[in-house]
Amino acid sequence: MLLELCRWVQYSPPLVAMRGSPILFPIVATIHLMGLAVVGGSVLLVDLRLLGLGLRRQPVAVLARDADRWLFRGLVVMVSTGILLFMCFATKYYYLTFFWVKMAALCAVIAFTVSVRRRIIMGHEGGVSAASGRLVALVSLALWTTVALGGRYIGFP
């Protein structure tokens, strides 16, 4: 069923046209990578702060309020360009384990970011232990690294 849908999408006229163009896929892939820089930067800013590295004069909650706005914008770029890249060679990615590892890690890190990580950040100045802040930062960084590595591996199977 899902494979049929992938085949239908991949051979639909807009995606055939995108594959036929020598520049469209590389442009979308480049925008995907630029979105990665925004997501990576906004995640690192807060997680390194939670690890006690950098920007220590800034309360974590204040830092996260601004960084999370960029994280959301970066995610919108990543998901929209990612779906386009996927649809272009959907039947190829369908069989790539790393693609499904990446998608699972992406769902896990988004759920973690809006729940546990947000609670720890909001409670950081108010009594949440520094140790739990560090643990949350390490989990967040590990999940995002899994997403990025998954992306790298699907680009070059």
Question: How many residues form the binding site for ligand HEM (CB under 6 A)?
Answer: 20
How far CA 155 is from CA of 33, 63, 116, in Å, comes to 12, 33, 31
Binding residue (CB under 6 A) for ligand HEM from 83, 111, 138, 142: 83
- Position 82 contacts ligand HEM (CB under 6 A): yes
Nearest to 80 by CA among 37, 43, 25, 35: 35
- Position 44 contacts ligand HEM (CB under 6 A): no
Stretch that binds ligand HEM, among 13-21, 45-53, 81-89, 119-127 (CB under 6 A): 81-89
Alpha carbon distance 34, 77 (integer Å): 9
Stretch that binds ligand HEM, among 6-14, 50-58, 73-81, 119-127 (CB under 6 A): 73-81
Q: Fill in the per-residue mask, 108 to 147: x = in contact with ligand HEM (CB under 6 A), - = not in contact.
A: ---------------------------------------x
Binding residue (CB under 6 A) for ligand HEM from 6, 15, 32, 68: 32
| Interface with ligand HEM (CB under 6 A) | 29, 32-33, 36, 39, 75, 78-79, 82-83, 85-86, 93, 106, 147-148, 151-152, 154-155
